[in-house]
Amino acid sequence: MSGGLGWQRLARQLAPRTIVRHCCWYHRGDWHRVSRNAIRLVRAARRAAVPVDDIADAVRDAAKAEGMPDWERQALTSLVEIPYAIQRTRWAGGWRTSYVNGQHRSQAMLEAGVRRTITVDWIYPGQR
């Protein structure tokens, strides 16, 4: 996956793809809705003072209680559960995004024109 905002990614931001493709699991659903729900449910868990280590479980339980379809729940879980979440790590020179089985998913979101989603930030003791 190439870095930066190339012309294809810019085009998707200006005119998001609304047609669901069926080439693979990552392109079979609505990442716009999944990302919106992930942001909303993580915020709700944070407001409810859910411990950081329990947020993924709280989000998963809330999604199930809301009756989200299976694909959306699986996609949502992939955004909030370690080790599948898109992860950023703070290094001496700043933040670095790393992927654990996340490149294809991120590419699907970029192609769909998703502008915001959830990432997990790893900040080790003494790095704040």
- 100 pLDDT more than 80: no
Q: What is the mean pLDDT of the chain?
A: 80
pLDDT of residue 1: 41
Q: What is the pLDDT of residue 84?
A: 81
pLDDT in tens, 29-71: 889 999 999 999 999 999 999 998 899 999 999 999 999 999 9
- Which of the four pLDDT bands, split at 50, 70 and 90, describes residue 10? low
Taking the model in full, what pTM does it have?
0.75
Give which of 123, 46, 116 is closest to 79, Cα–Cα: 116
pLDDT of residue 123: 66
- Banded model confidence at residue 83, pLDDT cuts 50, 70, 90: confident
Using the predicted structure, report yes or no on whether residue 8 has a pLDDT greater than 90.
no
Q: Which pLDDT band holds residue 27 (cuts at 50, 70, 90)?
A: confident
DSSP 100: S
Q: Is the pLDDT of residue 75 over 90?
A: yes
Tokens describing residue 58: 């709280």
pLDDT of residue 125: 66
